[in-house]
Amino acid sequence: MRKNRGRSGDRRSQLDPKEKQALKLAEIREALAAAGYDTTAKQAGILGLGRSTAWMVLNRDKRAGPSAKVIKRILLSPQVPKKVRLKVEQYVEDKIRGRYGHSKQRTQWFGDQFHTGHRDLKPKH
């Protein structure tokens, strides 16, 4: 019998899809805090969102997660730190791949919202 050696990949594979989504959103929140954006107001400003929207994205029940429109606003914000942007891009990729339990139709629609590829979204200067 193989023992789980505590690798995070093993632990994540055992999680419910919605728990995986909640963990990724928590990683985004933690990356913001590590960059010095430790309040909702600071996080909202850097993400290019209103305070209530930023709070909902980072703290609310994660059943659906942020909309494609909100994610695009974040990716277009010129002030988002690189580590935060990377976490958001990972979130988008994971959601498109269906890792958060959404239907194939829903993940296809979400991916279509980034038709040029989310990496092609450039911050406004």
pLDDT in tens, 71-113: 999 999 999 999 999 999 999 999 999 999 888 998 999 999 9
Domain boundaries, the chain: 16-120
Model confidence band, residue 65 (pLDDT cutoffs 50, 70, 90) = confident
Sort 10 into a burial class: Cβ within 10 Å, 0-12 / 13-18 / 19+.
exposed
Amino acid at residue number 63: R
Cβ atoms of residues 111 and 68 within 8 Å:
no
